[in-house]
Amino acid sequence: MTTQTSTILLIYTGGTIGMIKDSETGSLKNFNFNDLLKHIPELNLLDCTIDTQSFEAPIDSSNMGPVYWQQLVSIIENQYDHFDGFVVLHGSDTMSYTASAVSFMLENLAKPVIFTGSQLPIGDLRTDAKENLITSIQLAALKQDNVSVIKEVGLYFEYKLYRANRTTKINAEHFEAFASLNYPALAQSGVNLSIDYNALLVPENKPLLVHKELEPKILLVKMFPGITQQMVTHLFNVDMFKGLVIETYGTGNLTTQGWFITALKKVVDSGIPVVNVTQCSGGSVVMGLYETSAELKNMGVISGKDITTEAALTKLMYLLAIEDSQKDFKTLFETSLRGEMS
């Protein structure tokens, strides 16, 4: 494997990683990414060419959404033929959502798109930004027989590269902020870069297709003991949303009270897809395993299997915007499109 001759585009969307502390005020501010080498001179040691591009107005990841995802994939689309790989700098809070969305929006991706960020600003003495950024660029630049090793959307944080649409942020304080509990890491960084080739996606040899249309009218409901009929009736107003994701207990279980089943069946019967995902960090939905999920299977609720909530929401946004997907939506959703489910 080699990083020679690789060209990498570094895209800054916002987030802690792109900030430095003002020496006078002590507050954090975005720095000019054209001066990146001044802050990380170690990048000069990499055997690849790095170019940079920033969002015109970098944003906090808490404000991320479909409009910015469209902006991001447009940059990748416009630069796709000019670079061997892409590294996206993004705030960690919603990184798994954005990275999952981008994985669906870039069909037949044959180059690495690696998301990373940091828990501390790049100018902080104890920052994790430098290692995350340097290794992300190295991974994006890896080639074998002049072909990129990584050919999918990944997320790199604290010595591990994950499939992006398998990740969830699990910690707000530790450097190890992300986990992929239902799928192994694609690569690990130690003394050497260790790649799990069996875990990597092998895309079909087809031209890149970029899907920019998304359906944002998605409702997410998390089950909890004591959820009321009045609240459910209010939320399940079928005129207000186009898709529903329910975070259920364990392997896909929820209350069997008549009023809830009736309200949910009304949503399904109206033609709105309902996706069942587990609110557990790891594991899978297996509808029908217990009586408390058998009714869901019978009424046509979609099994999210071992998909993350982040991937379920963005996959729903993606599929609802594709006209052809309406023919057999349940089958299509329950099929792995970008390695997002087992």
The residues that are catalytic are 16
Buried b (16+ CB within 10 A) or exposed e, 57-96: ebbebeebebebbbebbebbeeebeebbbbbbbbbbbbbb
Amino acid identity, position 337: L
Q: How far apart are CA 214 and CA 287, in angstroms?
A: 28
**Interacting residues of 253 by C-beta distance below 8 A, sequence separation 6+:** 290, 292, 293
Q: How deeply is 34 buried, as exposed, middle or buried, from its count of CB atoms within 10 A (0-12, 13-18, 19+)?
A: exposed
Q: Which of 80, 166, 186 is nearest to 338 (CA)?
A: 166
Vertex 135: Cα angle to 133 and 139 (nearest 5): 115
